[in-house]
Chain A
Amino acid sequence: MENFTPVSALIGGGLIGLASGLYLLLNGRIAGISGIVGGLLTSSKGSTPMIERLVFLIGLIVGPLVLMTGTSIEAQSVVTSPLPIVIAAGLLVGIGTTIGSGCTSGHGICGLSRFSLRSLVATLSFMIAGFLTVLVTRHLMGVA
């Protein structure tokens, strides 16, 4: 449990919750990252203007940039998987979130916050799949 960071997790989680809540209250939209990105990849309808989607995603990168340059808070983003696995994982995440209409933010944070049974089922589905995948890769195959 030496990696457990409850305080920064709660504070960071609170910021994510605040961002999601404000986005719905002020702009009337669900802060589901896969949905926001997906809307940029299609030409059809969608009532959220492209520019609003785009600046939200720019913000996702600006947030960490501001913190890493302007504060002493440190973070890293370590990928240990070999390239073919990275590619397969990217495709699975892209296809899965499209078929399942959402990801950790849209179903997990926003869906559960509005008491959506559909989002609860989706959240359980991807959490269980995540647990099982790590069981296979780390414990049965012994990689990463």
Chain B
Amino acid sequence: MATNLEDPRIIEFDVRTDEMLVNMGPQHPSTHGVLRLVLRTDGEVISEVTPHLGYLHRCAEKIGENLTPRQWIPYTDRMDYLAAMNMNLGWSLVVEKLLDHELSDKAKHLRVIISELGRIASHLVGMGAYGLDLGTFSPFLYAFRERERILDLFEEVCGARLTYSYLTPGGATADLPTGWVDKVEAFLRQLEPIISDYHELLTTNAIFIKRTAGIGIMSAEMAIDYGCSGPVLRGSGVDYDLRRDGEERYTEMYDGYAYEVVVEKDGHYPQDRNYPKVPREAVLGDCWHRFYVRMLEVMQAMDLVEQGIEKYKSASGDWGVPIKLTQRLPKGDVYLETEAPRGQMGFYLVSDGSAIPWRVRARSSCFCNLSVTSELCPGCLIADVPAIVGSLDIVMGEIDR
């Protein structure tokens, strides 16, 4: 219900009452960690939203300037802690780019399997937590049930369940264990029918559609203007995915993989499976579309993992032996962006020729995605704020670093 407050036809809003300033967060159940939103409200109608950051700042970038690249990997885990594998990947690729280190095919396929599994795990949380934001509990636990299985798989690979530090400059810390890929295949087989449960409980649920369709509409221009990326950008109908449009060093990982970027084209999404239909109420760029893109990307990632496993089995070469812990870096600066589950995750590294980077910076996708809230929320009701913020699927650890 995006209402234009200045619309003179709306008498109700013409007669203003006292405005109220409300702090939503940093301790609030639906601000995904420690986001603080200052809401200016007229009754329940929001007239202004200001996001405040910095409650989770841990100086990760500064720490990166005191450690060697491999030592900094655990700190990247703690950025987007819901998709730590993808963070590891982003940093590893930057370091490899600086070193001009080439990976074997097997290592590349391993990375595809791992990072796409990470994407599924991350989107499952995004989906479940979005349900929580809208007041339904059960999908959250259903999502976590499946996520746990992925975490079990990751635990087998690297021993950790949240902060993996598995992918590392040079490849990975170890090869995939024997028989592991079969377990992944078994997991994918049992996940597939469950996806339709999620669609039933959320995507096609009448109340869910009422709460999300037509709420927080972001036009393609606006999404681009604010530098949004990932499902948030694609939910607005912009056909842009770094796995396809990114830098050669990143996209070559996906060479030979068949997949379609999840984005609405000519009024419909790529339909290679039995997806639920887009409801009439939904407008391109609203909360529902952002959520839907995420759900479809789970299916897409499942496909990619399946293909990756096939390729990994027949691939030659080693699994990518990590570089030395104290490897000297050549002089120069590199920047590379990867398609993390939440969008474009970029790392910037400046080296003065020693083993320790001179400068390390990270470009967070959630930071840009979050910045649109102040544009989307005015005119909405308080109940729409969690719906909008939730649909952006932010992780504060990545924003504050």
Check if A and B associate. Answer: no
